[in-house]
Amino acid sequence: MLVASLIAENLNDTQQTLRYVIYGIVGIIVTFWVAFFLIKKIGKDPRNILPVNFAKNIQIPLLLFLVAIVLWIGKASNYFPDKDFEYVAKHLITILLVISFTWILILLLKVFKKRLLSKYDVSREDNLKARKVYTQFTILENIIIFILIILAIGIILMSFESIRNIGVSLLTSAGIAGIIVGLAAQKAIATLLAGIQIAITQPIRLDDAVIVEGEWGWIEEIALTYVVVRIWDKRRLVVPSTYFIENTFQNWTRTTSDIMGTVFLYTDYDISVDDLREELTRLLEGSPLWDGKVNVLQVTNATEKSMELRALVSSKNSPTNWDLRVYIREKMIKFIKENYPKSLPRTRIVFENNDSSDSSDIKKDSSKNDE
């Protein structure tokens, strides 16, 4: 009789648990699709904060959150008679909640960043302020995501009593260990702090024109520990963040995007510099690459063979200035060849005319040498 009652009681518990599992699965599916439909509908309206693809990105964390809620309700209502299963469910609830909340916070952070940066257009010609804001929020986003993930992992690990006890015992003897870890991670911490310093002081920004390690290019990406420079020939130069704090480099667009460039020409002394100035002005005024600000031609050096002319020209940004310099150099050389062909750099050899008597003496001397 006692055995029959125990079997009946276990059977009732099993049926109760089975019913709750079925109800829980149905509840998860219904709640998930209702929430997904509402979020997707909100995202379709451009006046709302949530973007269109937010519903798609939040599917997995929303599902994890609903599973955690169902397990929590079952645990609170004593629907799990098995103590082992209840222990597993307890930790599973913590893990799912932490992961889902962290995931949702990261997605909301990205939505906030996207909405804020939508006011700034990097593709404009005068994009200095936009690049400044983009740089700050890109680096800060990486820092916040890194901190959220570290905190999530720490909370999950500390939910286990065995790991918590190990952590407490390690903290009591963490003096020497902390020093060793600090020394070992010194370079990594310095790189991390350099990334934070770049976000605050901004020696470089996204799309800045720079010269790094003798390579000319643009800042393409600023991560937490490294910076990617897009070289003019489409190569990528990956540089640690500490490089831009500890080393000297050239930033051509630090305060403004417009820039001046130089074109050097080497000619003979008899050329007319005034004509070259007039030709340079004509070329610049007829080129859309020139911004109309700087137009200078000066003699900057003179040697025993030629004189050096330097033309200063300005443009709205560094790529345009490069094209303008190439254009001016080509056209100025063509102008010199067509109008002053004898004024190109050359080496002179002057033969002096000898007297007839000297010539006869030379001939006699040469005949004697031949004999």
pLDDT at 277: 93
pLDDT at 322: 85
Per 3-state DSSP, the chain is made up of helix, strand and coil in percentages (nearest 5) of 60, 15, 25
Model confidence, pTM: 0.49
Contact assessment for residue 263 and residue 324, using Cβ atoms and an 8 Å cutoff = no
The count of other CB atoms within 10 Å of the CB of residue 13 is 15
Tell which residue, 63, 58, 92, has the closest CA to residue 75.
Answer: 92
Contact assessment for residue 227 and residue 244, using Cβ atoms and an 8 Å cutoff = yes
pLDDT at 27: 63
The count of other CB atoms within 10 Å of the CB of residue 154 is 12
Rounded to 10 deg, the angle between the 174-184 and 161-172 helix axes is 90
pLDDT at 138: 81
Q: What is the pLDDT of residues 238-266, one digit of tens each?
A: 998 888 888 888 887 777 667 788 899 99
Contact assessment for residue 216 and residue 209, using Cβ atoms and an 8 Å cutoff = yes
Q: What are phi and psi of 121, to 5 degrees?
A: -110, 110
What letter does residue 124 receive in the DSSP assignment?
A: S
The structural domains of the chain, ordered by start, are 2-173 (no CATH), 195-251 (2.30.30.60), 259-343 (3.30.70.100)
pLDDT at 80: 58
How many Å apart are CA 169 and CA 327, to the nearest integer? 71
Q: Provide the residue type at 268 as one letter.
A: D
Largest CA distance in the chain: 153
Q: What angle do CA 335, 338, 342 make, to 5 degrees?
A: 105
Sign for the pseudo-dihedral over CA of 274, 279, 285, 288: negative
Q: Provide the residue type at 152 as one letter.
A: A
Print the SS3 string covering 295-343.
EEEEEEEECCCCEEEEEEEEECCHHHHHHHHHHHHHHHHHHHHHHCHHH
Token pair listed for 219? 């800042």
pLDDT at 278: 93
How many Å apart are CA 65 and CA 56, to the nearest integer? 15
Q: What is the pLDDT of residues 51-77, one digit of tens each?
A: 556 667 777 887 788 777 777 776 666
Q: Is 252 helix (H, G, I), strand (E, B) or coil?
A: coil
Q: In what order do the strands lie in the sheet with 215-222?
A: 236-240, 226-231, 215-222, 209-212, 250-251
Task: Kindly give the confidence (pLDDT) of every residue in the chain, 371 residues in length, as a single tens digit, with 9 standing for 90 and above.
Answer: 444 444 444 445 555 555 555 656 666 666 666 666 666 665 555 555 555 566 677 778 877 887 777 777 766 666 555 666 666 777 788 888 888 889 888 888 888 887 777 777 766 666 667 777 777 788 788 888 888 888 888 788 777 776 666 555 544 554 555 555 555 556 667 777 787 788 778 888 888 888 888 888 888 888 878 899 998 888 899 998 888 888 888 887 777 667 788 899 999 888 899 999 999 999 999 999 998 888 999 999 988 888 999 999 988 877 788 899 999 999 999 999 999 888 887 776 666 665 544 444 434 444 444 44
Q: Is 3 helix (H, G, I), strand (E, B) or coil?
A: helix
How many Å apart are CA 55 and CA 65, to the nearest integer? 15
What residues does 298 pair with on adjacent strands?
A: 310
Q: Is 7 helix (H, G, I), strand (E, B) or coil?
A: helix
